[in-house]
């Protein structure tokens, strides 16, 4: 029996769902693998492990855990889904990650890890300068977990939606005037905001046109999206290396829900079911394309769902994840 130990920021957040316990436990099923989320890191707890999986490590405590593994000859597998070393100043977490000690910790961890998996090619390129053992593992969606997601997404509601957190305020602010303009021109369309109020938008929009939903547990979030039947998810991102490194989870979730994605014209988003923008003008025009029926959203997203099942299904991504694990413990 092979045992993967984990050191995670959270066991149940979206990051763990997509890149931590979610894919690892799915991979472990019927594969003679066990996954243990550790709370203590010493010789007694580490000796049972085939390797330790660390997600987004950066702190002094993470360095201590890493070193303890090395003392005990335990291979270490790091996983990153964000470019933590180059965070925009508008990000609320910038003040923590910009510290030289934190950057030194991340560099030390990456340089000495046995393998590093990342979510995007752009992010991988940033880490290759420190370690050649970088493997791109795209985020996948567990298509088997949603029996209610039918092949035909059905008729679409006149709804645009955004999902995110306060870390995206500058992203949304950069395109705020275009979003307000789209809401004014298409007054019969609703705007659904998930997990953040975005007051600088919603205070300027008609109350009856906006819907704000609190953050939901991930399984309820997916069910909610499916019930809303949106036509499009808008993904405003300002151009910064941190955002260029981001994965296309918003796209995967949009197509799951039967919605198209309005997304930047960057490598990570060039997939069926995306309306791509290059600037504020083309971002604004994408709302018109959807609202005026200039694209068949239902057909586009039905076709895109087939594409996702072929290319971004978790069980297919996990074939490569299993290969990473097997090479690590050889």
By the 8 A CB rule, do 163 and 250 touch? yes
This prediction's pTM: 0.97
Q: What CATH number does the domain containing 154 carry?
A: 3.40.50.2000
Q: Are residues 136 and 186 in the same domain?
A: no
Q: Are residues 95 and 170 in the same domain?
A: no
Q: Are residues 191 and 266 in the same domain?
A: yes
Query: Which pLDDT tens digits describe the chain residue by residue (330 residues)?
Result: 999 999 999 999 999 999 999 999 999 998 999 999 999 999 999 999 999 999 999 999 999 999 999 999 999 999 999 999 999 999 999 999 999 999 999 999 999 999 999 999 999 999 999 999 999 999 999 999 999 999 999 999 999 999 999 999 999 999 999 999 999 999 999 999 999 999 999 999 999 999 999 999 999 999 999 999 999 999 999 999 999 999 999 999 999 999 999 999 999 999 999 999 999 999 999 999 999 999 999 999 999 999 999 999 999 999 999 999 999 998
Q: Are residues 83 and 96 in the same domain?
A: yes
Cα(310)–Cα(3) distance, rounded to whole angstroms? 29
Q: Are residues 233 and 273 in the same domain?
A: yes
| DSSP-based three-state secondary structure for 204 | coil
In this prediction, residue 109 carries a pLDDT of: 98
Q: Are residues 160 and 131 in the same domain?
A: no
In this prediction, residue 330 carries a pLDDT of: 86
Cα(226)–Cα(145) distance, rounded to whole angstroms? 13
Q: Are residues 306 and 317 in the same domain?
A: no
Q: Are residues 167 and 264 in the same domain?
A: yes
90 CB neighbour count, 10 Å cutoff: 15
Q: Which domain holds residue 276?
A: 144-311
Q: Are residues 24 and 67 in the same domain?
A: yes
Count the domains in the chain.
2
Smallest CA-to-CA distance from 254 within 304, 289, 211, 320 is with 304
Q: Are residues 7 and 103 in the same domain?
A: yes
């Amino acid at each position: 029996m092979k045992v993967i130990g984990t050191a995670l920021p959270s066991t149940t957040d979206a990051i763990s769902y997509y890149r931590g316990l979610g894919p690892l436990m799915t991979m472990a099923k019927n594969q003679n693998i066990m996954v243990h989320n550790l709370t203590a890191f010493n010789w007694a707890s580490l000796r049972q492990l085939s390797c330790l999986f660390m997600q987004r490590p950066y702190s002094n405590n993470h360095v201590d855990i890493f070193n303890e593994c090395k003392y005990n000859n335990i291979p270490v597998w790091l996983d990153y889904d964000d470019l933590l070393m180059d965070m925009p100043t508008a990000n609320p977490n910038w003040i923590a990650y910009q510290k030289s000690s934190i950057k030194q910790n991340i560099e030390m961890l990456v340089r000495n890890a046995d393998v590093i998996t990342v979510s995007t090619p752009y992010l991988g390129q940033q880490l290759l300068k420190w370690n050649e053992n970088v493997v791109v593992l795209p985020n996948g969606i567990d298509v088997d977990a949603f029996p209610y997601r039918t092949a035909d997404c059905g008729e679409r509601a006149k709804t645009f939606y955004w999902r995110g957190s306060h870390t995206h305020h500058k992203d949304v602010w950069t395109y705020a005037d275009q979003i307000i303009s789209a809401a004014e021109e298409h007054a019969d369309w609703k705007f659904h905001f998930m997990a953040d109020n975005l007051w600088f938008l919603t205070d300027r929009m008609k109350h009856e046109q906006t819907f704000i939903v609190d953050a939901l547990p991930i399984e309820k979030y997916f069910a909610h999206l499916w019930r809303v039947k949106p036509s499009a998810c808008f993904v405003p991102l300002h151009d910064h290396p941190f955002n260029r490194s981001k994965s296309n989870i918003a796209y995967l979730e949009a197509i799951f829900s039967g919605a198209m994605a309005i997304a930047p014209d960057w490598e990570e988003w060039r997939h069926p079911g995306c309306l791509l923008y290059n600037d504020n003008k083309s971002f604004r025009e994408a709302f018109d394309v959807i609202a005026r029926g200039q694209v068949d959203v239902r057909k586009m997203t039905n076709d895109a769902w087939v594409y996702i099942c072929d290319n971004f299904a978790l069980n297919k991504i996990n074939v490569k994840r299993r290969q990473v694990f097997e090479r690590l413990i050889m």
